[in-house]
Each structure stands twice: as C-alpha cells, then as structure tokens.
Amino acid sequence: MIRRRKKKQQDTSNHGNRAITTVLATTALTLASGTSLATQYAVQPTLGSIAADFDVSAFVTGQIITAVMAGYLIVLVLLVPLADRFSSGRLVPIQPTGLAIVPAAAASAPTAGVLIGVFGLVGVASTVAAEAVSVVGRFIPLEVRGNRVGIVHAGNSAGILLSRFVGGALTSLLGWRGMLACFATLLVATGMLCAIVLPRHQEQTGNKGSYFATLRALPRLLRISPALRLASATGMLWVSAFNLV
C-alpha cells in the first residue's frame, strides 16, 4: 500500500516536471522562431531611411528583401533536414545566436551592396522557425502536441506582424542601425534561453540514412504524399500572404 502511494506520488511528480519542461520548451521555441522571423521583416519599414543613408534608389534597397527570401528558401531545403539528425538542444540555439551576428554586422555595413549580402545571411539563419515546428513534433508529448505546434505557429505570425511596427518604432528612436543592434541583442537572449531549456540528448527519429540520402528523398516524398504537398502549398501561401501585408 505504501509502495503504491509512493509510486503514485512519484508518477505525479514526474508528470508535473514533464509539464513544466514542455511549457518552457514551447516558450523558448516560440520566442526563438518568432524573433528570427521578425528579423527578416523588421527592415522593411526602414528601406526609405537606408536608401537615403546610402544615397541609392528604392530599387537597390528592395534587393534586401529579395536576398533575405532567397537565403531563406535555399537553406530551408538544405538545413531543415538536419533537425531530424541532431539534438534540438544543440542545433536550435546555434541559429538565433549565430543570426545575432548578422544584424550586428548589417548595422555597420559601409555600403548598400554589403548590406544586401549580409541580409542574405539573415534569411539563411532564420530557418529556426521551421525547425522549431519539427522539434515540437518530436519532443512534445502527443496529447498536447497539436496545441504546442499551434502556439509556435502563432509566435511566428506574431513575430512577422509585430516586426514591422517594432522595427519602424525603433528606427524612429535609434535609426535603422540602432534597430538592428536591438534585434541582435534579442536574438542572443532567445538563443541562450533555448540552450538552457531544450534537451541536449539525441532524440530518436528513426532516420538512419545519410544527410544526402535525406535530401534525395524529398522530391519522391512530395510526389507520393498528398498530405506533404498540401502542407507545402499551405506554407507557401502563408509566407506569400505575410509578404503582401
């Protein structure tokens, strides 16, 4: 009787600890993914200020957005499969922290051409938003997984929508270089939070093939999986809609 009571108390304690860990992990992933995406879009209200600062046309500064999206698209294909092969506690924190270097470098860019190239790297490092959803799908318990995926997606949407307002407000107060420095600081903070909260052990994914085999399998998966095609099309329309806002 006493053993049963102790076991029940231990199970309750373990369940409570898992619940706390789940909430912390979801919070960290939501902040990291939302902030990373926000860094892509925060520069949009500042394009006029950047054009005036470098004495270039709006067409030239518009290439910043093109560079961001091109970098994001390329690395989305090349890097996201790594989320199934490495510990989330090691892979995810690297990107926000590494991404912080990029806006910091952009803040000191001497020419518009350098700034465009640097913002291409912003897109490269912003794929943590996609990886966060993959991590939630493997790490979060099944009974709350759908809810947590929705929270991470909501964080992504909030990051995109708020980024323009926050970016414009910070630019008015600090200039576009100061705005980028603020986002760099925020990215470091979210990267550190992920490093503390996310597990460092290797999750079991069942993926035993090589990285290149995974990449080669993607076209076939798109061809044979209607659900994957639908999800891909939905994601494409979601990103397109936010770029039109």
DSSP characters over 63-107: HHHHHHHHHHHHHHHHHGGGGGTS-HHHHHHHHHHHHHHHHHHHH
Query: How far is 178 from 184, CA to CA, in rounded Å?
Result: 10
pLDDT of the residue at 7: 44
Q: Which residues contact 209 (CB under 8 A, 6 or more apart)?
A: 217
Are 142 and 22 in contact by the 8 Å Cβ rule? The answer is no
Q: Is the pLDDT of residue 182 over 90?
A: yes
* CATH code given to domain 31-208: 1.20.1250.20
> Residue 51 region, left (φ>0) first, then alpha (ψ -120 to 50), else beta?
alpha
Per-residue tokens: 133? 């959803």
Are 42 and 163 in contact by the 8 Å Cβ rule? The answer is yes
Higher pLDDT, 123 or 244: 123
| 201-241 pLDDT, tens digit each | 555 555 556 777 777 887 888 889 888 888 778 877 877 77
Closest of 138, 143, 155 to residue 204, by C-alpha? 138
What is the pTM assigned to this prediction? 0.77
Name the amino acid, one letter, at 191: G
For range 78-105, the mean pLDDT: 73
Q: Is the pLDDT of residue 40 over 60?
A: yes
pLDDT of the residue at 170: 93
Q: Is the pLDDT of residue 160 over 80?
A: yes
Confidence band of 6 (pLDDT split at 50, 70, 90):
very low
